[in-house]
Amino acid sequence: MLVLKNCRLIPALTEGYDLPAADLVLDGELIADIRPAGGSYEDAPVLDMAGKTVLPGLFDLHTHLHSLSGNLMENQLKDFGTSCFDTCEYANTYLKLGYTTVRDMGSNSRCAIAVRNAVQKGQITGPRIYSAGLMISPKDAGNDAFSLM
C-alpha cells in the first residue's frame, strides 16, 4: 500500500469524486481509494504530491516504435539490433511522457514484439505494448517503400 497525498485531480476523470484535491491510496498498480486531501496515514508510506496533477495513463493507438526518425527508408535499412535498441528507447520515452499503453502498427524484424516480451518479463521498463508484428503495405505501383523487407 502507498498513499499519494495532496494530489490535484481532474474531476471529469475521477468517476464521482468531485473535489479538486485528494489523497490516493494505491494497492500495487491499482487505485484502491480516493480520499479527501490531508488525511493521516501511519500504516503506509506516503508521497506528498504537493498539488501536482495526477492523470490516468495515456494510450497511443498508432505508433511505429522502431521509428525514431520519420524517415521510412532509413528505418527500413536498420539492422535488427539497432531497431530493437531504438524501439527500447522510444518505448521508454513514451512511458516518461505518461503513455502506459501503445499499439505498435508494425516494426522492422518484429522488434516491437521482442521489446514487448522483455517489458512483460521485467527485463526493461516500458509501456504495455500491443504489436502488429511486421509492417505491411500493398505493393501497388508507386509504393516501393517496402521493397527492402
Greatest extent of the chain over all pairs of C-alpha atoms, in Å: 68
Task: Name the pTM for this structure.
Answer: 0.76
What is the pLDDT at residue 12?
Answer: 82
Distances (CA, A) of 33 to 24, 42, 50: 6, 16, 19
List b or e across 90-107, with b for residues whose CB sees 16 or more CB atoms inside 10 angstroms.
bbbebbeeebeebbbbbb
Please report, for the chain, the start and end positions of each structural domain, with discontinuous segments joined by +. Answer: 2-48, 58-131
Query: What is the side-by-side strand order in the sheet with 99-104?
Result: 58-63, 99-104, 128-131
pLDDT tens string, the chain, 149 residues long: the values are 999 999 999 878 888 888 999 999 999 989 999 999 999 998 899 999 999 999 889 999 999 999 888 787 788 788 889 999 999 999 999 999 999 999 999 887 899 999 999 999 999 999 999 999 987 766 666 556 655 44
Write phi, then psi, for 22 (nearest 5 degrees): -160, 170
Helix, strand, coil percentages for the chain (3-state, nearest 5): 25, 30, 45
Among 3.30.110.90, 1.10.10.1100, 3.40.50.720, 3.40.50.10130, what is the CATH number of 58-131?
A: 3.30.110.90
Q: Is residue 2 classed as helix, strand or coil in its secondary structure?
A: strand
Q: What is the pLDDT of residue 77?
A: 83
